[in-house]
A and B are shown apart, each in its own frame.
Chain A
């Protein structure tokens, strides 16, 4: 018997960064430095091209990134799959409602549905909780037999290994010109930070993708995007130093430039840093979170981040002297933060010549231990997901009003991105490259 050919539409909803504070909104819209940061993070997540790759070739799959094109207002689809992070959830539900009205079978997955499945079930026919690799084929089989379940939970299936994850169907995204295309080499992070959702959903086990497959994925990307940088969308790259060293060696033969997210301990391995720069690594986004020890004490149960604080300046210097810029990620709104913290963060970034900084407001994302705690303490002020962009204050803080937190983040950006700081940073990096260059 011939299998029915399904028409599947996969949608990534628009991710507008609503900002409550009008002055902050104006600043984000007009600042060239902030536009550059957002530009480099404007790639699409890997969920939908991975789902497409898990779908047998016998079916028709189309992906729509709503940031790049409008959702089709006509055409019939057997299945509409939508992914969403928390700040995209409201838009995802609007899209789901519209397609159900059109008679399509709607499924929702991604990080938000994984932590709020009951909420997502109000808008979707089936909801996916966790990693899709083993659930999606099961769902397709159930759908073809007209018996799809209301909820698919990865814990009901064999644990996902990175070798189960196929090469994402990048070809379906080739219609878009992304400045950055993402690849994932590992999943998991050992630190289990209180504000993080990923380790609660995907577990703490650190999983590595076979290096040969990572190489294949990068080659695939280079077929479609000749100028794009590659961003490694790992929760925390380089945790396994031996794997990282072997991976980076293979990068050298591929000729591409890249950036990654990791923790500051990568600075402990200078041989790896040297190889990273030689292989095209430009920048690392590192979660410093805070420059106050009392804040860092409470982030991880093993106080890992607090123990690194004294080493932050030396580690930044070690990384940057290899020609790799550090973007520091900082959070404003920890319990011990005061108005002085804003200046302390600016001073840390400027005096250590960090290439850049990214500041966000402490946000109790659903699925995080932070949300559970702040819920118990009665400190959650706003439950409307559209404000969960990390640039809007949704918490009650003893020393900051919500407006002060939003202005505080803007002040940090203005303090690190201004003509004087930019000039000093340029001179600093030019000196570094002057020493590294071999003619």
Chain B
């Protein structure tokens, strides 16, 4: 799972253009990183394609932190690969 976690962090960093070192698990994605719904869709679409998984975009509404985002991806990865 560490690979997936690192990958998610790198995708967020690449699309938000914020250095990966700023993306601690407890950082708020909207207020601290400025990741709005548009950026979230780009991140989700990129991760879906790279990991060959499906993420329900509606779940982004409940996401607060980078850690939540990573957990959402990991859960989708498990659903696809279990």
Contact = CB atoms under 8 A, between A and B. Distances in A.
B49 A36 contact: no
A31 to B, nearest CB: 14
A229 B38 CA distance: 14
Contact of A39 (B22, B31, B48, B49): B31
A429 B57 CA distance: 10
Nearest to A37: B36
A228 to B, nearest CB: 7
A422 B41 CA distance: 12
Interface in A424-439: 425-427, 429-430, 433-434, 436-437, 439
B18 A226 contact: yes
Interface string B28-40: 0011111011110
A179 B17 contact: no
Contacts of B19: 226
Interface string A297-318: 0000000000000000000000
Nearest to B55: A430
B17 A255 contact: yes
Contacts, number: 70
A124 to B, nearest CB: 36
B1 interface: no
B45 interface: yes
Interface string A403-439: 0000000000000000000110111011001101101
Interface in B39-66: 39, 41-42, 44-46, 48-50, 57-58, 60-61
Which residue, of B18, B37, B38, B44, has the highest number of chain A Cβ atoms within 10 A?
A: B38
A382 B40 CA distance: 42
A374 to B, nearest CB: 36
Contacts of B41: 426, 429-430, 433
A227 B58 contact: no
Given A227-B18, A437-B46, A437-B49, A430 B57 contact: yes
B22 A227 contact: yes
Contacts of A437: 42, 45-46, 49
Given A227-B18, A256-B17, A430 B58 contact: no
Given A280-B17, A430-B44, A228 B34 contact: yes
Contact of A257 (B16, B22, B30): B16
Contacts of A256: 17
A227 B33 contact: yes
Contacts of B50: 439
A433 B31 contact: no
B42 A323 contact: yes
A226 B13 CA distance: 12
Contact of A433 (B16, B18, B42): B42
A134 B29 CA distance: 42
A355 interface: yes
A282 B41 CA distance: 12
B70 to A, nearest CB: 18
Contacts of B30: 36, 39
Given A179-B31, A227-B33, A439 B38 contact: no
Nearest to A283: B38
Interface string A221-233: 0000011110000
Given A227-B18, A423-B58, A433-B46, A325 B38 contact: yes
A196 to B, nearest CB: 27
Contact of A36 (B17, B32, B36, B42): B36
Contact of B34 (A257, A325, A434): A257
Given A323-B42, A433-B45, A257 B17 contact: yes
Nearest to B33: A227
B51 to A, nearest CB: 9
B4 to A, nearest CB: 15
Contacts of B18: 226-227
Nearest to A228: B34
Nearest to B50: A439
A258 to B, nearest CB: 9
14 contacts: A39-B30, A179-B31, A227-B33, A227-B34, A257-B34, A282-B39, A422-B61, A423-B57, A426-B41, A426-B58, A429-B37, A429-B41, A437-B45, A437-B49
Interface of B: 16-19, 22, 30-34, 36-39, 41-42, 44-46, 48-50, 57-58, 60-61
Given A179-B34, A283-B38, A439-B46, 13 more contacts: A39-B31, A40-B36, A256-B17, A257-B39, A283-B36, A423-B57, A425-B37, A426-B57, A429-B37, A430-B45, A433-B45, A437-B42, A437-B45
The 5 closest A-B pairs by CB, nearest first: A433-B45, A429-B41, A325-B38, A433-B42, A430-B41
